[in-house]
Amino acid sequence: MNVSSIAPCGVLCDLCMGFQRTKNKCVGCNYTGNKPYHCTVCSIKECPEKKGNEKLLCSECDKFPCKRIKNLDKRYRIKYGESPIQNLQNIIKDGIDAFIKIENEKWECKQCGELLCVHRDACLQCGTKNEYFPEAE
């Protein structure tokens, strides 16, 4: 896994529902090809601050953490139990390789060993509960 597997917002593409599904699979945030429409107009991926460096992570941007990232962070923490801002801060502090290693360990399904999906409450492979997914209120 390399930096291309990390979305500019700091979430691993490998954890995304669009990326994990087998039917109509997404190519990932950093690639051109099949992806949901809303991802082709993502305000973070297409942010003008990236100025031609389309693989820029938001952690490398002078404006980090901007309002866009803060809004996404709030939504992701509440809905999915994952913090893009914390991820990006970990990248700044520990580097990409350490971040990827920690995320892979964190999200590994304890039952089948595949990565959990950040957007679902259970492993797509074996149905084991995703312990990070917030309980419904």
| Residue ranges binding ligand SF4 (CB under 6 A) | 7, 13, 16, 18-19, 26, 28-29, 35-36, 39, 44, 47, 49-50, 58, 61, 63-64, 66, 68-69
In sequence order, the 6+-apart residues with CB closer than 8 A to the CB of 129 are 121, 122, 123
> 88 with 10: CB under 8 angstroms?
yes
Write down the least CB distance from residue 116 to Zn ion, Å.
7
Write down the least CB distance from residue 105 to Zn ion, Å.
15
Residue 27 or residue 122: which is nearer to ligand SF4 going by CB? 27
Pick the piece of the chain touching Zn ion (CB under 5 A) from 26-34, 82-90, 99-107, 112-120: 112-120
Residue 1 or residue 66: which is nearer to ligand SF4 going by CB? 66
Sign of CA dihedral 20, 54, 64, 44: negative
Cα Rg of the chain (Å, integer): 15
Rounded distance, CA 3 to CA 113, Å? 22
